């Protein structure tokens, strides 16, 4: 019996018992849907991190007081607080003058929130940060209206502000934010620029901020120290590897701080890869656990298929006897039942994949971005078919081993 005939027999057997076949498929559909939805959420989360947090592919990194490893336990935090000094503008100038692989470097400061007022309207807990004008280039800031700071405005500590779109739309619903003054802690700041709307990251708004020239920020918010101490954002030159630029800046910082060879850095350097690696280390562990739960549903689907195939063998004992008496070999019977279970499972997997895709669109629209890569779809169908074949192996072997004379006697 050739493969085409075997496939035709398998399809005919599935269509002959539509309700039973559907109920059999249901276990595989639910299992595959659950598995693929969870996988799409994990993939979507990873892509989300790459795009909006880690900035994979960018050539910028930060120099700050602490590194990620400084926060692994309370002892490490205490040691880092004693060892690591706040960054200074002298160190920034030292790097600017000597770095050969750096295109731009600038300081930022923040970790402050205040109420922002215009007229009778007030926005509570708005993020207030300070930045040097070069940050507009390094961060590739998208300006919707107006402009970013100038060196003159920063050097003269002028009270000008670059704001997020939330400030513009909520305090100035008529669209006249540009050129108007907002009040922060009783001090007026003139809006000179509005950023293009960025949306949210993990539900946290990225448009609810006010950014001031860093010298203005330092003068009006208690100085650039403690939680408001500056950190540096560095952009490597075109064609320079990120790792080379990082090594150069690290070396210059160590020289400036007179750290002897072998002594640990008393500052931190954070790259996009470090951020994505940190998040990846958190997600990898619970990804296995999360995928294990829908994996159980797939196993239950396989058990259902095995059970139904065993019933099918019992029901079709006489048919198997007739086929064997007419010359069908054990391999033909085995192949027929394996095809049937594999096809049944593959159809269930395909329907589960389609349902997961539809659910993914809905989840992306209303909750969180999801992503089903093409390789995952191929693997899903292949795995579901393989699960069906494995589930049908014992029933198929049982059918192939039936004695034709005993089978013909069956009622």
Q: What is the pLDDT of residues 209-231, one digit of tens each?
A: 999 999 999 999 988 988 889 99
CB 28 within 8 A of CB 348: yes
- 340/153 Cα distance (integer angstroms): 76
SS3 content of the chain, % helix, strand, coil (to 5): 60, 20, 25
| pTM for the predicted model, two decimal places | 0.68
Query: What one-character-per-residue DSSP string does 131-179 give?
Result: E-TTHHHHTT--EEEE----HHHHHTT--EEEE-HHHHHHH-TTS--TT
Q: What is the pLDDT of residues 240-297, one digit of tens each?
A: 998 999 999 999 999 999 999 989 999 999 987 776 666 666 666 667 777 777 777 7
Q: What is the mean pLDDT of residues 374-385?
A: 79
Domain edges within the chain: 3-52+278-409, 85-266
Structure token digits, residue 284: 């990898």
Across the range 294-313, mean pLDDT stands at: 75
Report how far residue 83's alpha carbon sits from residue 259's, in angstroms, rounded to the nearest whole number.
12
For 74-103, the pLDDT digits (tens) are 888 888 888 999 999 999 999 999 999 999
Strands (DSSP E) found in 257-406: 268-270
């Amino acid at each position: 019996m050739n493969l085409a005939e075997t496939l035709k027999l398998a399809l005919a057997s599935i269509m002959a018992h539509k309700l039973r076949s559907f109920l059999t498929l249901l276990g595989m559909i639910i299992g595959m849907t659950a598995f693929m939805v969870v996988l799409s959420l994990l993939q979507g989360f990873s892509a989300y991190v790459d795009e909006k947090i880690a900035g994979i592919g960018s050539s910028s990194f930060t120099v700050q007081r602490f590194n990620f490893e400084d926060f692994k336990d309370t002892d490490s935090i205490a040691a880092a607080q004693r060892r690591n000094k706040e960054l200074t503008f002298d160190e920034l100038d030292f790097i600017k003058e000597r770095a050969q692989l750096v295109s731009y470097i600038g300081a930022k400061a923040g970790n402050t929130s205040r109420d922002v007022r215009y007229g009778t309207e007030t926005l509570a807990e708005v993020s207030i940060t300070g930045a040097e004008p070069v940050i507009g280039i390094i961060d590739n800031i998208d300006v919707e209206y107006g402009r970013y700071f100038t060196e003159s405005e920063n050097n003269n500590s002028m009270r000008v502000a670059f704001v997020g779109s939330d400030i513009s739309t909520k305090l100035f619903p008529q669209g006249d934010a540009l050129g108007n003054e907002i009040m922060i802690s009783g001090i007026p700041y003139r809006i000179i620029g509005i950023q293009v709307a960025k949306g949210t990251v993990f539900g946290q708004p990225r448009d609810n901020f006010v950014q001031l020239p860093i010298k203005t920020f330092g003068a009006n918010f208690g100085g650039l120290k403690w939680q408001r101490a500056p950190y540096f954002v560095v952009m490597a030159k075109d064609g320079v590897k990120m790792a080379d630029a990082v090594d150069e800046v690290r070396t210059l910082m160590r020289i400036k701080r007179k750290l002897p060879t072998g002594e640990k850095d008393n500052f931190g350097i954070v790259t996009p890869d470090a951020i994505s690696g940190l998040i990846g280390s958190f997600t990898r562990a619970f990804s296995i656990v999360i995928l294990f739960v829908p994996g159980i549903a797939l196993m239950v689907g396989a058990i259902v298929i095995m059970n139904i195939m065993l019933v099918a063998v019992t029901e079709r004992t006489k048919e198997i006897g007739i086929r064997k008496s007419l010359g069908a070999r054990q391999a033909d019977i085995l192949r027929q039942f394996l095809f049937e279970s594999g096809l049944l499972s593959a159809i269930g997997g395909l329907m589960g994949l389609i349902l997961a895709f539809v659910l993914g669109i809905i989840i992306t629209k209303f909750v969180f971005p999801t992503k089903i890569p093409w390789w995952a779809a191929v693997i899903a169908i292949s795995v579901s078919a393989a699960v069906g074949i494995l589930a049908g192996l014992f029933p198929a072997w049982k059918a192939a081993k039936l004695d034709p004379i005993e089978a013909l006697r069956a009622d």
